[in-house]
Amino acid sequence: MNPSVLLSLMATVLVTAEGNDGDWCKAIPWDIGTVPTDAESPWLQSLRFGGYIHLQSAAVNGRAGGRDFSYGRGLDVRRSRLTMKGKALNALSWSVHANMSEDDGRTGGGVEFDYFGLFTAYATLDLNALLPDNPLDTFSVSYGKRKLTELNEEDETSINSILTVERSSLSSFVVPFRAATGTTGAWMTMGRGRDEVTLGVFSTDTTPEFGTWDDGTLLIGSWEHDFSTALGLEEALLSIGGGIQDVKAGDEVYSPWEWVFTPWFRITEGRWQWHFSAAVGELEGPAATTGGSFYGACLMPVYWLVEDRLQLVFRYEFMNSDAPFGVQLRSRYAREAGRPQNEAIPSLATGRGDFHQAAYTGLVWWVCPKHLSVLGGVEWEQLTSRSTNVYRGTTLWLSTRVIF
């Protein structure tokens, strides 16, 4: 960019910031995609177009395959998506997130920006609007594709709001997800007072758009209860959930479990937040060495160093399985390092063992709250199989997220 143009843009932002109490974030039209609508209209109550882009870099240093290695990604376009949300007829709402980039840096390629399928896309019908005399406070049915957020607290949080650069391996291991696309299905949500129940049936097909029902079937259910009033806390949410998969040979298995039980809770009070997720289940692996039972847990305390601006995050997780290769490391860049075109360590690229643990410490700087954040952290990980080291190493993380 021409230096004079850059200086001109900086001057414009500074001048605009002077008219917004010195806050240059207010000078940026974050809501530019909001279409003017009338909330009282019987036809269209809201419509908003938006998007987000997440940029990451990482450096991994560790030991695997009997040798030390170092691997790094200077810039990774982790995700870029266009979004559309709206509500019509006072009863029908929808949400669409479309994948708009593909980064092949892990294989030595570049970044291509284009449409690459739907990440999530679903519609929800508010049955309370159609049946106003029913005893439920929340009553809806939905169809489309989404992540099964009922199975893990980290996944219940939007990707734009998570407090670590990447979600934990436990989260990625438990929640069905593949090929940058969510899970197609139908679900119902019912709530009254401080309780909410969700039941759903989903396909394990991984089509980039809407999946077919020719593959396996996955059932999920969850019960959430708000304990905040009873405990006198700002937030205290408990969820008890789980899922069952009907998986046959040739099905595109989203997650490796046959059944899973997944309780989690989240507590907020003052400057503190506490996040906890656990899982126990039975694995349906392709071989005896990847099957058997497993369990794991993740604890993440968070503290506001500067209210609304700077957070300190710590996370510890572990997974354990009966089978020697029952659990899998989901660390994005550590497994990338093992690929043939990088460090060529097959055991690391596969990332399987019977015990995994990781500890993460980092900061989240909300440059413009809800719209622009910078995250940095360091994570130590260990993966073993029958007490033999598969991988042990440290990843340095840096991420920038922009949300419109």
Q: How much is the mean pLDDT over the chain?
A: 89
Provide mean pLDDT across the span 86-107.
88
Is 290's pLDDT higher than 50? yes
Instruction: Calculate ∠ Cα 70-74-78, nearest 5°.
Output: 110
Please give the DSSP secondary-structure letter assigned to residue 106: G
DSSP characters over 138-183: EEEEEEEEE--GGG-HHHHS-TTT-SSSS--HHHHHHS--BTTB-E
Whether residue 96 is predicted with pLDDT greater than 80 in this model: the reply is yes
Tens-place pLDDT, residues 23-40? 788 888 888 999 999 988
Q: For the chain, count helices (H), then strands (E).
A: 7, 20
Each residue of 206-255: pLDDT tens digit?
Answer: 888 898 888 888 999 999 999 999 999 999 999 999 999 876 655 666 67
Cα dist. 233→154, 225, 303, 339, 350 in Å? 20, 14, 16, 47, 43
Is residue 241 within 8 Å of 222, Cβ to Cβ? yes
Residue 397 has pLDDT above 50, yes or no: yes
More confident residue, 189 or 20: 189
Find the length of the chain. Answer: 404
Residue 138 confidence (pLDDT)? 94
Q: Bridge-partner residues for 254, per DSSP?
A: none
> In this model, does residue 315 exceed pLDDT 60?
yes
Q: Are 76 and 58 in contact (CB under 8 A)?
A: yes
pLDDT band at 15 (very low <50, low <70, confident <90, very high): very low
- Indicate the range of 5-14, 78-87, 120-129, 342-351 predicted with least confidence: 5-14
Q: Cα 399 to chain center, whole Å?
A: 15
Q: Closest Cα to residue 381, out of 64, 73, 54, 57?
A: 64
Quote the pTM value: 0.88
**Stretch among 51-55, 139-143, 235-239, 242-246 having the lowest mean pLDDT:** 242-246
Predicted local distance difference test score (pLDDT) of residue 11: 44
Contacts of 187 (CB under 8 A, 6+ apart): 141, 142, 198, 199, 200, 201, 202, 220
CA angle at residue 310 from 305 to 313, to 5 degrees? Answer: 75
Q: How high is the pLDDT of residue 6?
A: 39
- The per-residue pLDDT for 287 is 61
